[in-house]
Amino acid sequence: MSTARGARARARTEITAAIKDEARRQLAAEGAAKLSLRAVARELGMVSSALYRYFPSRDDLLTALIIDAYDSLGEAAESAHAKAADAEPVQQWTTVCEAVRAWALAHPHEYALIYGSPVPGYSAPDSTVPAASRVGLLLIGVVREAWEGRGIARPPLPADLRPEAERMMADLAPDLPPEVVAALVSAWAQLYGLVGFEVFGQFHRVVEDRAVFFTHAVTQLAHHVGLLNHGRTAETPHRPQGRGKGTASGGRRAGS
pLDDT in tens, the chain (256 residues): 567 667 777 888 999 999 999 999 999 998 898 999 999 999 999 998 899 999 999 999 999 999 999 999 999 999 999 999 999 999 999 999 999 999 999 999 999 999 998 999 999 999 999 999 999 999 999 999 999 998 899 999 999 999 999 999 999 999 999 999 999 999 999 999 999 999 999 999 999 999 999 999 999 999 999 998 765 543 445 555 544 433 333 332 333 3
Which CATH number does the domain housing residue 46 bear? 1.10.10
CB 102 within 8 A of CB 76: yes
Same domain, 32 and 103: no
- Is residue 252 a part of any domain in this protein? no
Residue 237 domain-assigned (yes or no): no
Write phi, then psi, for 221 (nearest 5 degrees). Answer: -65, -40
pTM: 0.86
Residue 99 lies in a domain: yes
In the prediction, which pLDDT does 236 show?
44
**49 and 129 inside one domain:** no
pLDDT the model gives residue 245: 37
Domain range enclosing 105: 63-118+125-225
pLDDT for 233 equals: 45
101 & 221 share domain = yes
CA-based nearest residue to 80, from 99, 102, 103: 99
Domain match, 47 and 67 both: no
Please check whether residues 31 and 158 belong to one and the same domain: no
Question: In this predicted structure, what is the pLDDT of residue 9?
Answer: 79
Distances from the Cα of 112 to the Cα of 107, 121, 194, 219, 256, angstroms = 9, 17, 14, 24, 14
- Tell me, yes or no, whether 174 and 214 share the same domain: yes
For position 63, what pLDDT does the model report?
97
Residue 48 placed within a domain: yes
Greatest CA separation for the chain:
68
The pLDDT of residue 185 is 97
Residue 48 sits in the same domain as residue 87? no
The whole-number pLDDT of residue 234 equals 37
Is 253 inside a domain boundary? no
Domain identity same for 46 and 139: no
Whether residue 235 lies inside any domain: the answer is no
Residue 244 is predicted with a pLDDT of 41
If asked whether residues 41 and 101 sit together in one domain, one would say no
Q: Count of domains in the chain?
A: 2
In a domain, 3, yes or no: no
Same domain, 137 and 24: no
What gap in Å lies between CA 23 and CA 43, rounded to an integer?
Answer: 10
How far apart CA 82 and CA 72 sit, in angstroms, is 15
Q: Considering the domain boundaries, does residue 251 fall inside one?
A: no
Are 19 and 97 members of one domain? no
- How far lies 74's CA from each of 103, 109, 255, in Å? 10, 16, 10
Q: Within this chain, do residues 170 and 211 fall inside the same structural domain, yes or no?
A: yes
CATH number at residue 187: 1.10.357.10
Q: Which positions ≥6 away from 213 have C-beta within 8 Å?
A: 207
